[in-house]
């Protein structure tokens, strides 16, 4: 959790979230698996099962694609400067 104190004494807090929706709602940043990619990969497993493959014989898969979203408006409100390098790495910037 990131806590910043405003010059007037107010305290603002924000956290790092696992899903982009929290950033869209005002959170500072999120870093988590790309859900669309996970659903696509799950669909291939469903296809294999429907074709007769046994689920017990299939390996467990971990996410391979992750998304970084940064809310620059929230960062500014907290008095934080987001380095340009981090902004360039982000999949989505909310301004």
pLDDT at 10 over 60: no
Q: Phi, psi (5° rounding) for residue 88?
A: -70, -30
Q: What is the pLDDT of residue 12?
A: 58
Computed from CA positions of residues 36, 39, 43, 45, in that sequence, does the dihedral angle turn out positive or negative?
positive
d(CA 5, CA 61): 42
The residue range of the domain holding 84 is: 2-94
Q: What is the pLDDT of residue 16?
A: 87
**What is the distance of C-alpha 11 from the center of its chain?**
25
Q: What is the pLDDT of residue 85?
A: 96
User: 31: part of which helix (H) or strand (E)?
Assistant: strand 29-33
When divided into structural domains, the chain yields a total of 1
Tens-digit pLDDT profile for residues 18-75: 999 999 999 999 999 999 999 999 999 999 999 999 999 999 999 999 999 999 999 9
């Amino acid at each position: 959790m990131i806590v910043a104190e405003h010059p007037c004494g107010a305290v603002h807090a924000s956290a790092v979230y696992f899903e982009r929706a929290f950033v869209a709602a005002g959170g500072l940043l999120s870093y988590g698996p790309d859900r669309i990619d996970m659903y696509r990969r799950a669909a291939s497993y469903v296809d294999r099962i429907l074709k007769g493959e046994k689920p017990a014989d299939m390996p467990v898969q971990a996410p391979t694609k992750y998304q970084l979203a940064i809310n620059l408006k929230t960062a500014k409100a907290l008095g934080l400067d987001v380095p340009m390098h981090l902004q360039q790495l982000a999949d989505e910037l909310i301004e």
